[in-house]
Amino acid sequence: MTPAIDAHVRLDTHPTHPSAVQAVLTGSQAHVAVMALEAADWSAAATNVLVLARIDHEEPYWAADAAKHLIAEGITVEITPRLQEAIDEEWTWANYPMPWCTRSEIRAVSNQAQKIHDDIRHGQLLIHAHAHDGHTTIAVGTYLHPSGKSVYLHGEDHLRQIADIFDSPAKALLAFEKAHSAEMHPGPAPLTDTDAPPSKRAPSATSPQPSPNPSALSRRPSPSTWPIPATTTRSSTPSSKRTASSKSGAPGTTTPLSPTTNRSPCASSSTTTPGPVTRSGPSPRTKHRSATACGT
């Protein structure tokens, strides 16, 4: 049996930032829990106070995952009722451009996008140039660690993916310039509202503002989504309005850099499932029951 550690972690929804999770630590060995949470990409907000803020609004899921690991280490964890409600809620993006993905596949796509976001934010991935392909932002960059590869990035926020890999920055830039010379700009693209730190995010119609109503604190905003480049005909037309998604749509038009570029990260599914119901309110997202394709 794992010996108990004198540390108590209280997990709750963040008081001002929708979907973010806050951890308050107490106990003579609270530093042990601090190190464990920082290793899981939680950020220190104050002494023994950490925050988990992600671009994919999956904080409740990853907070539950962190709680399991802390408990396994012998640390006491308390999860507030409103955070538990957010953890238990089944939801998915309205108008998701890859509607054939299961809920777990959607989470895997956004987790990869989160890693790219963190690599850029921590200076591990240097962006050389960016462009807009008519649908979304594309970019080319290089990982700065030894033997780091150069990558072609497609998409924004929770949909950003590595679409191609190159052996050198020169090869990556030449290919990028050949495909997007007319729209190419040096350096990284301007931050989206989701990319920006919470304190610098501008209010928007799709991002609910802080509310004194506790039930509103766990609501997740739905930033704009865009179609990924693909040869399949199942990508959807970008729209700022979040409504029920459809499995039909116009094909993407982005020019691939190589024959193997722009493959969908999700496996195609031929199973027909009931259409999702769009939930009304300040956080327009789609809620699923466990029987739907996006249920886990």
- 105-155 pLDDT per residue, tens: 999 999 999 999 999 999 999 999 999 998 899 999 999 988 899 999 999
- For the beta sheet containing 43-46, the strands, ordered from the edge strand earlier in sequence to the opposite edge, are 43-46, 49-52, 21-26, 8-13, 76-79
Coil vs helix vs strand at 130: strand
pLDDT at 190 over 70: yes
What's the pLDDT at 62?
A: 96
More confident call, 286 vs 259: 286
Q: List the structure tokens of 261.
A: 């570029």
Across the strands, what pairs with 91?
A: 287
What's the pLDDT at 67?
A: 97
First to last CA, the chain: 31
- How is residue 149 annotated by DSSP? P
* Residue whose pair of structure tokens reads 């989701």 in the numeric block: 194
**Distance between CA 194 and CA 158 in Å, rounded?**
9
CA atoms within 13 A on the CB side of 277: 9
Grade residue 193 by pLDDT with cuts at 50, 70 and 90.
confident
pLDDT at 273 over 90: no
How many helices and strands, by DSSP H and E, does the chain display? 5, 13
Grade residue 265 by pLDDT with cuts at 50, 70 and 90.
low
Cβ contact 251:55 at 8 Å? no
Grade residue 198 by pLDDT with cuts at 50, 70 and 90.
low
What's the pLDDT at 236?
A: 33
Least confident of 20-24, 67-71, 212-216: 212-216
- For the beta sheet containing 286-287, the strands, ordered from the edge strand earlier in sequence to the opposite edge, are 91-92, 286-287, 277-278
What's the pLDDT at 34?
A: 97
* Among 92, 100, 55, CA closest to 235: 100
- For the beta sheet containing 150-154, the strands, ordered from the edge strand earlier in sequence to the opposite edge, are 161-166, 150-154, 137-143, 125-132, 185-186
**Distance between CA 47 and CA 170 in Å, rounded?**
45
User: What is the amino acid identity at position 185?
Assistant: H
What's the pLDDT at 238?
A: 33
User: What is the amino acid identity at position 135?
Assistant: H
Q: At what angle do helices 81-88 and 59-72 cross, to 10 degrees?
A: 110
Cβ contact 136:154 at 8 Å? yes
Cβ contact 99:234 at 8 Å? yes
What's the pLDDT at 163?
A: 94
Grade residue 195 by pLDDT with cuts at 50, 70 and 90.
confident
**Distance between CA 111 and CA 230 in Å, rounded?**
20
